[in-house]
Amino acid sequence: MSNSADSPGTGSSPEPARRFRPVRILTAAVFALAGLIFFTSFDTAKGTNIRTDASLLKLSDLIHERSRENGELDETNGALRKDIEALAERDDGSTKAEDDKLTALEKRAGTQKLEGEGLTVTLNDAPPDATAKLPGYPEPQPDYLVIHQQDLQAVVNALWQGGAKGIKVMDQRLISTSAVRCVGNTLILQGRVYSP
């Protein structure tokens, strides 16, 4: 018995030729790229740990150095502002309308000193041995025991909503461009870092 596909004269077509499949080439390219990445990583590390604690310490030192520099620049800025205010007290030839406009802009920018009654709000982390006070609640997780960005932001928003004319966090007055941000357990405010 012979196979009809083997006989050329029976009118049946021969076995189809292998078709070109781009998936095979793509698979080979992915494996080649992965191999190149592994080799590059091995060659860069040369058998050592690339991510060391020393590099993290360098980053921490850099952050503290930048924070210190920002503090010095703030002090310099304050001294220059006093010089400008002293010079501005002289008659500069501006009109009353211009002076009123400048006063309004200074007020909105938060550069004018404020006087009046004040309120101090202190936020503290919970003690490490804190327990749930209400029955049925689980024991607090460590993350629940510390002040977070949303907690500080909620207090700031409540003060604004309550009619505060100005708010000072740590040693800086909040202005329209201020952002209260926390990274981990540190506060970053206008380029300065405040540790807990």
pLDDT per position as a tens digit, 97-153: 887 888 888 777 777 788 888 889 998 888 877 776 767 777 767 677 788 888 888
Return d(Cα 107, Cα 146) in angstroms, integer. Answer: 34
Residue 67, burial from CB neighbour count under 10 angstroms (0-12, 13-18, 19+): middle
Tokens of 34: 């992965």
Give the start-to-end residue ranges of the domains of the chain: 22-50, 52-97, 119-128+141-196
DSSP code string of 88-112: HTS-----HHHHHHHHHHHHHHT-S
Percent of the chain residues past pLDDT 90, beyond the cut? 9
pTM of the complete model beyond 0.75: no
CA distance 129 to 145: 9
Strand-by-strand arrangement of the 192-194 sheet: 180-183, 186-189, 192-194
The residues near 6 (Cβ < 8 Å, ≥ 6 apart) are none
User: What pLDDT is stored for residue 91 in this prediction?
Assistant: 62
* Backbone angles phi and psi of 189, in degrees to 5: -135, 115
pLDDT of residue 92: 64
Place of tokens 């050329």: 8
Residue 46's pLDDT band (cuts 50, 70, 90): confident
- State the average pLDDT over residues 11-17: 59
| Angle of CA points 36, 41, 44, to nearest 5° | 120
SS3 content of the chain, % helix, strand, coil (to 5): 50, 10, 45
pLDDT of residue 13: 56
